[in-house]
Amino acid sequence: MQAEHTAIDTAFIDLSDKRYLFTDQRGIDTLADSVGRVGLINPPILQMRQNGDYRVVSGFRRVSACIRLNFRQIPARTIGSEADFLYCIRIAVADNASARALSLAEQRRLVEKLYDLCGSKEAVSSALDQIGVFMPGELVEKFIRISTLPPAVQEGYAENYISLNTALAMESMSRASAEAVARLFEILRPTVNRQKEILGGLNDLAGRQGITIESVLRSREFADILEAMDIDRGRRMHLLRSEIYKRRYPALSSAEAEFFRHKNNLGLEEGMDLKPPQNFEDTTYTVILRFSSTRQLCCQAETLGRICRNPDLEVILKREIEDQQDLY
Amino acid sequence: MKISKIYIDASAEDDPLARQIPDRLGVPVDHIGDPAWLYKGVAKAPDPESAGKSVLLLTRNKGSFIRNCPGTSHYTCCGYRILHIGAYCSMDCAYCILQAYYHPPVLQFFTNQGQMYEELDGFFAEGHTGRIGTGEFTDSLIWERVFPIARYLVNYFSGQDTAILELKTKTAAVDSLPQTGHCKKTIMAWSLNTESVIREQERSTASLESRIAAAEKVQANGYPLAFHFDPMILYPGCHQDYAGVADRLFSRIDPSNIVWISLGSFRFMPELKEVAARRFPDSGIVYGEFIKALDGKMRYFKPLRIRLYRSLIERIREKAPGVLLYFCMEDQEVWEKALGYTPEAYGGLSRMLDMRAEKMCGLKRTGQ
């Protein structure tokens, strides 16, 4: 790198020029503490612009920390304005990667920058090779796809409340639907598995009703859940999932409710349970007995005898659900 | 069938059909050493399932021509046998399982038919009552322009009396079938559905009116008939619509010519969901109230299936009390609740259907 070591007046450094910014900008306070105690060990790299002031090539956090400490001048390495984008970004990558591994978010921003410049996945991969960053082509492609998603989804991914695969699954949605889901995830912060479940459920509901996901989420029941700020997040998540399930499987959820209603009338004792077949497809029910003494088992056996004569058990085993004509 | 190119697999090059079929179709031909090359090309197309309908691979059936129907565990199978003449279909139904069954699906027609007739002779010689059909991996009547295999098979089956051939179709293409001489050893069968399902889910198939008209035509020529309400699909108003189809059917078809009517609700391998949702975004068919059934396939929640069957059965029994009804892949509870009995009471479903075929098609049992 042809760079000149010099002291630069911080007033001439334009931090709003983010041409080469791809790194995370967290922890500036901690860095400022460190710089305050031991000084700036590794000078940032700046590029002179046509108008004579400077943009940062590498060291955004370092420059920010120095400004926060009211340094009027800082030591820096400067590159001439004639240096091209690829050369500068290469310097930035090398400077950062020499200190630590680039995070996934940084890698994504780097790909976005290169994609803006190069315009194709192949060219980005080749540029990454040139600047010494190894990244599988599949990941490059995914990062490029992320960059085409609505900003709310990109932000969710950057802020880590939308997973990479969830974000990509939102590609086929309308912009409004993707934004509505991103907002939902921002509020409820579901785990990756829950994101998949919720997205799948909403997608099915929308397909079932022939409307968009945004329209599904605009319905009163969902809106009420999302806006119920007095209810904690975990409870709202439970309510949301229940609502999706009830709407997605109206007959099944009604049969489940009916089963539990009759089961409650059976008078099962502690340690006893009755399980229906999965989705009521099979006809075999399971009784579970948990006991720790012969006395307890004898009590359960007596209860079982009573249950066998209970009309609610007959209803359960008859498996006639209420007429679902209104559904179809 | 709109075929833009024929590919001939090296293994099929010497078969007479590999020469006859290109002459009949008059489309460009390419000889390929390995069909994998073709599959790869089709798989790369933006819509591989459509691309596979525009090319025809002439190849040899490297396995058996006669196969057992791949019934699944827990559900009652009818013991049907498949005559594997080719694969895939020129029509385009949203629910078609072949879209997910083959990777990717490509129209294929098997050229080593000598082996097929040998296998049939062996099967006939066993003397078991047999029900064999060509409509499992393809539609039975789409191939007649490529090669009139249905006509040949009708004639072949007419020369024996131990097995019946069932030709299942969603077309009205019955003109190539022999008008006489079938000796009732071929059952002409139509898949029936409501106007709404045909319009929205069964692209490029014949209308309900055309299917019934075609059935009427072959009825006049003495063919025994069968109908399959499969896949039945739930949607608002479906119960009335299916009953309406039964009304239309029996206003034109004499129930005494019907060997059997089967009922089956839409069921699918989970892999189909993604394909159908991608190819038919307005269909909505895969978003019904499906649960994962005991065989791993997606099925409507059972009480919904039972209710759907009951309403159609009620109407069919009203119009044609003597017609044999059966379910394709349902369990005993569904049989009991929708039909009022289970096949075991009659020696099993397979036996029930065999006996019906013996009675209506004049089959004779010579084996055990």
For A170-206, how does the pLDDT look when each residue is reduced to its tens digit (9 = 90+)? 998 999 999 999 999 999 999 999 999 999 999 999 9
> Measured between beta carbons, which residues in chain B are less than 8 angstroms from residue A328?
234-239, 304, 308
The whole-number average pLDDT for the span B278-286 is 93
Which residues pair with residue B130 across a beta bridge?
B163
Asked if B279 reaches chain A (Cβ–Cβ under 8 Å), the answer is: no
Asked if B288 reaches chain A (Cβ–Cβ under 8 Å), the answer is: yes
> What is the model's pLDDT at position B366?
62
Asked if B267 reaches chain A (Cβ–Cβ under 8 Å), the answer is: no
**Closest in A250, A281, A319 to B291, CB measured:** A281
CA distance B265 to A313: 29
> Are B239 and A328 inside 8 Å of each other by CB?
yes
What is the chain A residue with the closest CA to B282? A210
> Are A328 and B304 inside 8 Å of each other by CB?
yes
CA distance A191 to A168: 16
Asked if B299 reaches chain A (Cβ–Cβ under 8 Å), the answer is: yes
For residue B201, what pLDDT band results from cuts at 50, 70 and 90? very high
HEC secondary structure over B57-112: EEECCCCCCEEECCCCCCCECCCCEEECCEECCCCEECCCCHHHHCCCCCEEEECC
Beta strand pairing call for A13-14 and A54-58: parallel
As a whole-number percent, the residues of chain B with pLDDT over 70 amount to: 99
Q: Is residue B153 part of a domain?
A: yes
> Per-residue pLDDT tens for A304-325?
999 999 999 999 999 886 655 5
Beta strand pairing call for B225-232 and B186-191: parallel
Token pair 């004792």 in the structure block, residue: A269
- Chain CA centroid to CA B325, Å: 17
| Amino acid of residue B147 | F
Q: What order do you get walking across the sheet with B29-32 strand by strand?
A: B29-32, B5-9, B55-59, B107-110, B86-87
Asked if B286 reaches chain A (Cβ–Cβ under 8 Å), the answer is: yes
Beta strand pairing call for A73-79 and A45-48: parallel
Identify the residue among A204, A211, A247 best suited for mutation to test binding to B, counting B beta carbons within 10 A and taking the highest: A204
> Are A328 and B236 inside 8 Å of each other by CB?
yes
Q: What angle separates helix A137-147 from helix A104-118, to the nearest 10 degrees?
A: 80
> What is the model's pLDDT at position A24?
82
Beta strand pairing call for B55-59 and B81-83: unpaired
- In this model, does residue A280 exceed pLDDT 50? yes
Q: Is residue B23 part of a domain?
A: no
Asked if B302 reaches chain A (Cβ–Cβ under 8 Å), the answer is: yes
Question: Who has greater pLDDT, B102 or A273?
Answer: A273
Q: Is residue B2 part of a domain?
A: no
Q: What is the CATH number of the domain that holds B137?
A: 3.80.30.30
HEC secondary structure over chain A: CCCEEEEEEHHHEECCCCCCCCCCCCCHHHHHHHHHHHCCCCCCEEEECCCCCEEEEECHHHHHHHHHCCCCEEEEEEECCCCCHHHHHHHHHHHHHCCCCCCHHHHHHHHHHHHHHHCCHHHHHHHHHHCCCCCCHHHHHHHHHHHCCCHHHHHHHHCCCCCHHHHHHCCCCCHHHHHHHHHHHHHHCCCHHHHHHHHHHHHHHHHHHCCCHHHHHHCHHHHHHHHCCCCCHHHHHHHHHHHHHHHHCHHHHHHHHHHHHHHHCCCCCCCEEEECCHHHCCCCCEEEECCCCHHHHHHHHHHHHHHHCCHHHHHHHHCCCCCCHHHC
Mean pLDDT, chain B, as a whole number? 95
Q: Is residue B280 part of a domain?
A: yes
Q: What angle do CA B244, B245, B250 make, to 5 degrees?
A: 100
> Measured between beta carbons, which residues in chain B are less than 8 angstroms from residue A319?
303, 333
**Closest in A208, A248, A321 to B303, CB measured:** A321
Q: Is residue B222 part of a domain?
A: yes
For residue A328, what pLDDT band results from cuts at 50, 70 and 90? low
As a whole-number percent, the residues of chain A with pLDDT over 90 amount to: 68
Find the length of chain A: 328
> In chain B, which among 50-109 make CB contacts under 8 A with chain A?
74
Q: Is residue B199 part of a domain?
A: yes
The answer to whether the CB of B289 falls within 8 A of the CB of A281 is: no
Containing structural domain, residue B175: 66-83+113-361
Q: Which helix (H) or strand (E) holds B232?
A: strand B225-232
Asked if B44 reaches chain A (Cβ–Cβ under 8 Å), the answer is: no
Identify the residue among A249, A281, A316, A321 best suited for mutation to test binding to B, counting B beta carbons within 10 A and taking the highest: A281
What is the chain B residue with the closest CA to A172? B278
Residues from A contacting B (CB-CB < 8 Å) are 204-205, 207-208, 210, 248-252, 255, 278-283, 319-321, 323-325, 327-328
Beta strand pairing call for B66-68 and B107-110: unpaired
- In this model, does residue B368 exceed pLDDT 50? no
Copy the structure tokens of residue B289. Answer: 């109230």
> Per-residue pLDDT tens for B7-55?
999 999 999 999 999 999 999 999 999 999 999 999 999 999 999 999 9
The answer to whether the CB of B216 falls within 8 A of the CB of B208 is: no
- From the list B173, B157, B158, the residue with the least C-alpha distance to B217 is B173
Asked if B234 reaches chain A (Cβ–Cβ under 8 Å), the answer is: yes
Q: Is residue B7 part of a domain?
A: no
- A to B CB pairs, distance under 8 Å: 63
| Amino acid of residue B130 | G
Alpha carbon distance, N-terminus to C-terminus of chain A: 72
Mean pLDDT, chain A, as a whole number? 91
Q: Report the domain count for chain B.
A: 1
Secondary structure of residue B44 in the 3-state scheme: helix
> Are A251 and B282 inside 8 Å of each other by CB?
no
**Domains defined along chain A, listed by start:** 1-100 (3.90.1530.10), 149-248 (no CATH), 265-320 (no CATH)
Dihedral sign, Cα of residue A284, residue A285, residue A290, residue A294: negative
> Measured between beta carbons, which residues in chain B are less than 8 angstroms from residue A252?
289, 291, 301
Q: Is residue B310 part of a domain?
A: yes
